Amino acid sequence: MAAWIDSYERAWRTPGTEALGELFAPDVSYSYDPYEEPVRGLDALGPWWEDGRDGPDEAFTMSSEVVAVDGDVAVARIEVAYGDPVRQEYRDLWVIRFDAPGRCVAFEEWPFWPGHGRSPSTARPWD
């Protein structure tokens, strides 16, 4: 799992999207937000990937910790800081399911960032 995360970071720092075929299965489901439709398929992931970054030379730091592995599913905690100086930070949980060759078939991201709570408002719906 740690090696896959390292490869993911390398792919983000590499021009183009050719490396995605080594990381993701052709029919991958990539959920970048639990309330949005996932990106489906490697052909759709490539353009989404390019749109999501400032370019392969984008300044960022990334650290990770594998939290759990159970069979073909793994969970990791990821911290990313974009920019120099830092302009945006994220703490994510990634839930990843792999196929037999070790490519991701389902990627589920749970992003959190400073200043944004876990709910859309501070009011409790039961009050």
pLDDT tens for residues 59-106? 999 999 999 999 999 999 999 999 999 999 999 999 999 999 999 999
- Give the whole-number percent of the chain exceeding pLDDT 70: 91
- Give the whole-number percent of the chain exceeding pLDDT 90: 77
* Mean pLDDT, residues 23-46: 96
Instruction: Report if residue 35 sits inside a domain.
Output: yes
pLDDT at residue 16 is higher than 50: yes
85 cis-preceded (ω within 30 degrees of 0): yes
Instruction: Report if residue 123 sits inside a domain.
Output: no
Mean pLDDT of the chain: 90
* Mean pLDDT, residues 23-49: 96
Q: What range defines the domain where residue 58 resides? A: 2-112
Q: What pLDDT, on a 0 to 100 scale, did the predictor assign at position 34?
A: 86
Instruction: Report if residue 31 sits inside a domain.
Output: yes
Q: Check which CATH number belongs to the domain holding 29 and give it.
A: 3.10.450.50
Instruction: Report if residue 94 sits inside a domain.
Output: yes
| Strand pairing report for 88-98 and 73-82 | antiparallel
Instruction: Report if residue 92 sits inside a domain.
Output: yes
Instruction: Report if residue 125 sits inside a domain.
Output: no
What whole-number distance in Å separates Cα of residue 63 and Cα of residue 20?
20
Number of domains in the chain: 1
Instruction: Report if residue 72 sits inside a domain.
Output: yes
Q: What pLDDT, on a 0 to 100 scale, did the predictor assign at position 53?
A: 87
SS (H, E, C) 87-125: CEEEEEEEEEEECCCCCEEEEEEEEECCCCCCCCCCCCC
Instruction: Report if residue 126 sits inside a domain.
Output: no
Q: What pLDDT, on a 0 to 100 scale, did the predictor assign at position 55?
A: 85
Which token pair is 70? 């159970």
